[in-house]
Amino acid sequence: MNIVITQPMLFPWRGLLEQIMLADVLVNYADVQFSKGSFTNRVQIKERAGSRWMTVPLEKFHLGARIDEVKPAVNVDWRAQHLRMLEQAYEAAPHVSDMLALVRSVYEADYAHMGALALASMRAVCRYLGIELDSKFVDAPELAVPGSNTGRVLAIVQKLQGTKYITGHGAKNYLAHAEFEQHGIAVEYMNYAMQPYPQLHGEFTPFVSSLDLIANHGPASKQYMRPQTLNWREFIHE
């Protein structure tokens, strides 16, 4: 049983989608502290001049606020700004209309907090690409597992009877790998293939929103997904 625990990300990059593809259970980890500079409210797109951040501005929030407490700004028309950015950046892309329709479908609604908006964007991208998300989805608060950091992650995986925990690279510096193994849980890191695909605006860059892939390749985008992992020892060269 493969468990993936992730914070919601705004129109996420391809690597997170590959991680979702490998999950038997996907835990939405939005009841944790929001970090400025995270991918919850911003993502990169590619323009003629290079990569650029597309950011949802936030209402004033206190330090330590959770992702499911932080709210998108209401006094800035960031939806229209984003759509203009995307229209200009991808006007020459063959599937730009599909990509813009997807973004509009997300932005038509209002959201109680940034976590809900980011999750809606993830769901929309997965639906378009035919990546199953809803049937494997669990919201972290539903599990009623207290704690923080490694201890809480381990307890969540145990509660879900997981045998493998698949994580992104950010966990390298804090995860107690051996402790998971002591409980019969393998830890594997994503081994991002970052396979190049035909892309607008010069030299290929993999670190952009999946909206870039959709604008360029539409329904055929999934052929550029290569989900694969490495055992934690191999990943950190222990």
7-66 per-position pLDDT tens digit: 999 999 999 999 999 999 999 999 999 998 889 999 999 999 999 999 999 998 888 899
Residue 85 clears pLDDT 90, i.e. is over it: yes
d(CA 71, CA 92): 33
Q: What pLDDT does residue 60 have? A: 84
Q: What is the mean pLDDT of residues 80-96?
A: 98
With helix as H, strand as E and coil as C, how does 105-170 read?
A: HHHCCCCCCHHHHHHHHHHHHHHHHCCCCHHHEEEHHHHCCCCCHHHHHHHHHHHCCCCEEEECHH
Angle ∠(104,38,90) on CA atoms, nearest 5: 35
Nearest to 88 by CA among 45, 47, 43: 47
Angle ∠(195,9,27) on CA atoms, nearest 5: 100
Residue 238 clears pLDDT 70, i.e. is over it: no
Between residues 3 and 146, which one has the greater pLDDT?
Answer: 3
Q: What pLDDT does residue 43 have? A: 98
Q: What pLDDT does residue 148 have? A: 79
d(CA 111, CA 56): 12
User: What contacts 1, CB < 8 A, 6 or more positions away?
Assistant: 24, 25, 160, 161, 162, 163, 164
Q: What pLDDT does residue 40 have? A: 96
Q: What is the mean pLDDT of residues 111-137?
A: 97
187-234 per-position pLDDT tens digit: 999 999 899 999 999 999 999 999 999 999 999 999 999 999 999 999
